[in-house]
Amino acid sequence: MDAIELLKNRRSVRKYKDEPVSRELMTEIIRLSQFAPSWSNYQIARYNVIDNRDLIEDIADNCVQGFVYNMKTIKRANGIVVLSYVTGESGSLAGKVENSEKTVSDNNWECFDAGIACQQLCLAAYAKGVATCILGVINNEAIAQKIDLPKNEKVAAIIVYGYEDGEHHNAPERKNIDEVLRFID
């Protein structure tokens, strides 16, 4: 698939065919997501793939703050990737360079790393014919508990996936370029 087409035509999809996506294909997609850049190449993103129907239903019913729209999307999905990240690493070069105590950044690079990995996963999935939707209206703590997430990790988002059902939509309208772009002289 052409890269420009990939960037323009990936969509958030919320309706899926009743057709499983193999673990083999999900592994391929996640392998591609791993090529995302990350702070000092620490690669703190972790991919917790759930394709067990009972657990999918459980997360839909109990881990989305009662937001019915997301409940329905999750129940229609073939699987969920709980994208988590290892805490306490990104943002620091401690021990890696001289004066390393000065190399801790205040920016929230952990979430930044997770976000890039998340988008790379969605693009890789689309390139491989699998549709996705990032869900942010979730209960992070409840999900972490449900999947017994290691204590040094936090949930960033969940990404539901499956084979798209119905017509592929055009992108919802983007803002005018003048509103978002500034050339600074």
Ligand X SMILES: Cc1cc2nc3c(=O)[nH]c(=O)nc-3n(C[C@H](O)[C@H](O)[C@H](O)COP(=O)(O)O)c2cc1C
Minimum distance between the CB of residue 57 and ligand X, rounded to whole angstroms?
A: 18
Minimum distance between the CB of residue 8 and ligand X, rounded to whole angstroms?
A: 9
Minimum distance between the CB of residue 53 and ligand X, rounded to whole angstroms?
A: 21
Instruction: Tokens 């790393």: give the residue.
Output: 113
**Comparison of 46 and 76: residue with beta carbon closer to ligand X:** 76
Q: Which of 109, 125, 96 is nearest to 37 (CA)?
A: 109
Report which residue's Cβ sits closest to ligand X: 136
**Comparison of 96 and 169: residue with beta carbon closer to ligand X:** 169
Minimum distance between the CB of residue 39 and ligand X, rounded to whole angstroms?
A: 19
**Comparison of 73 and 78: residue with beta carbon closer to ligand X:** 73
Q: Rule CB under 6 A: which residues touch ligand X?
A: 11-12, 14, 70, 73, 133-137, 157, 171-172
